[in-house]
Amino acid sequence: MPRIMKKIPRIITTLLLLSTTSTLALAACDDPPGKGVIWIGCDKQGIDLRGLDLRGATLTHTNFSGADLRDTRLSGAEFNFADLSSARLENARLNKARFVSANMTNATLNGSFLNGAKLDRALLDKAQFKNAKMQGASLYQSSLISANLSGADLQDAELTQATLTGANLSAANLSGANLEQAILEDAVMKDSNLHKANLKNANLQFADLSNADLSMAILVDALLSETNLKGARLDKAQWVDRKRCRTGSIGQCD
């Protein structure tokens, strides 16, 4: 009995702490938007945050579907598992932001800054990344079906096992990007820069790579059935059979 009596104050203290923590967590959703704000699991559907400073904010598991985040400063923000479907993020500053497993279906990010951002396993189907700056961004196992990345700068980006079926990558900069085992079937990649890109085991069937720069790219074991390589530069590229293409190879590996 004395032992039980000694434990009661500890139990009460623990319950009070849990209650306080829960109250604070709920109250955080009502905190005003600002630098470093913490909104976890909040409902911010359709919210207008245009041009605000939310750098370093923690926004995990929060609903931002249909939200307006144009021109917002969000560098270093945490959006892991957040819902950003149909959200507007044109020209937003998202350098080194994290979107791991976030839902960004139909989101618009044209002209946004995503250098060094983490979008691993994110759902990005039909998202718009036209002319976005995405150098060194990580999109490991992300889904970009029918996404528009035309003119985007994806230099040195990580796209291993990403699904880009039917995506538009025309005139995109993918130099040095890692696209190993990526699915690029029916993708439009004409005029794209794939210099030194890793396309080992990538599925490029029915893709349009016309006039693309594939010089020094790695294409070992890539699937190239019905791939359009008309006018594509293949100088010193490593072909599907590990053969090194000769300097001056255009449209086919000589």
pLDDT of 62: 98
pLDDT above 60 (res 27): no
Which of 22-31, 124-133, 150-159, 206-215 bottoms out in mean pLDDT, i.e. has the lowest? Answer: 22-31
Cβ–Cβ under 8 Å, residues 74 and 97: yes
223 — phi, psi (to 5°)? -95, 115
CB 189 within 8 A of CB 168: no
Q: What is the pLDDT of residues 67-119, one digit of tens each?
A: 999 999 999 999 999 999 999 999 999 999 999 999 999 999 999 999 999 99
Give the pLDDT confidence score for residue 28 in this predicted structure: 87
Range with lowest mean pLDDT among 13-27, 90-104, 201-215? 13-27
Tell me how far CA of residue 69 lies from CA of 44, 85, 88, 178, 199, in angstroms.
Answer: 11, 12, 6, 29, 34
Residue-wise pLDDT tens digits, 30-61: 999 999 999 999 999 999 999 999 999 999 99
Q: Which residues contact 136 (CB under 8 A, 6 or more apart)?
A: 115, 116, 155, 156, 157, 158
148: left (phi over 0), alpha (psi -120 to 50) or beta: beta
Say whether pLDDT at 19 is over 50.
no
Percent of the chain with pLDDT over 70: 89
Using CA atoms, how far apart are residues 163 and 188, in angstroms rounded to an integer? 13
Q: How far is CA 101 from the centre of its chain?
A: 9
Q: How many helices (H) and strands (E) does the chain have?
A: 1, 0
Mean pLDDT of the chain: 93
Confidence (pLDDT) at 215: 98
When computed from its CA atoms, the radius of gyration of the chain, rounded to whole angstroms, is 23
- Name the residue type at position 191: D
Q: What are phi and psi of 182, to 5 degrees?
A: -75, 150
The answer to pTM > 0.75 is yes
Decide if pLDDT at 207 tops 80: yes
Of the candidates 105, 73, 78, the one whose C-alpha atom is nearest the C-alpha of residue 92 is: 73
Residue 193 pLDDT greater than 90, yes or no: yes
Q: What is the mean pLDDT of residues 157-171?
A: 99
Q: Given this model, what pLDDT does residue 136 score?
A: 99
**According to the model, what pLDDT value does residue 10 have?**
60
Distance of CA 20 to the CA centre of its chain: 36
DSSP 93: B
Predicted pLDDT of residue 9: 52
SS3 138: strand
Percent of the chain with pLDDT over 90: 89
